[in-house]
């Protein structure tokens, strides 16, 4: 069964506090290729690898059904800095 954006969003928000979330369906509708940007305070003091492992774990069932899954993980502070830089 294809994964939809809403299911992903629910699974993430159920598990961790989310400051900002972008989910992009890059599969042109077939639901097997997603890229997410996730900003959460739970990433504080965690390495990128630890953050990705965390997201992989909480989306385990969904990722197993996809072909590709790409993620960017930031703490609220990192995200603010990033926004400031790009504006």
How far apart CA 21 and CA 38 sit, in angstroms, is: 5
Taking the least distance from each CB to other proteins, the nearer of 19 and 71 is: 71
Quick one: tokens of 73?
């993980």
Q: Which of 41, 68, 81, 83 binds other proteins (CB under 8 A)?
A: 68
Interface with other proteins, residue 27, by CB under 8 A:
no
Taking the least distance from each CB to other proteins, the nearer of 1 and 49 is: 49
How far apart CA 48 and CA 54 sit, in angstroms, is: 10
Which span sits near other proteins by CB under 8 A: 4-12, 13-21, 60-68, 78-86? 60-68
Residue 71 DSSP SS3: strand
Interface with other proteins, residue 23, by CB under 8 A:
no
How far apart CA 56 and CA 58 sit, in angstroms, is: 6
Evaluate whether 71 touches 49 at the Cβ level (below 8 Å).
no
Interface with other proteins, residue 71, by CB under 8 A:
yes
Residues in touch with other proteins (CB under 8 A) = 48-49, 52-53, 56, 60, 63-64, 68-72
């Amino acid at each position: 069964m294809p994964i939809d954006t809403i299911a992903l969003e629910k699974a993430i928000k159920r598990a961790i506090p989310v400051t900002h979330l972008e989910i992009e369906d890059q599969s042109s509708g077939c639901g097997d290729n997603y890229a997410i940007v996730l900003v959460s305070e739970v990433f504080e003091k965690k390495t990128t690898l630890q953050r990705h492992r965390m997201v992989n774990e909480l989306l385990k069932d969904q990722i197993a059904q996809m072909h590709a899954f790409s993620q960017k993980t930031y703490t609220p502070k990192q995200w603010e800095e990033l926004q400031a830089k790009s504006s």
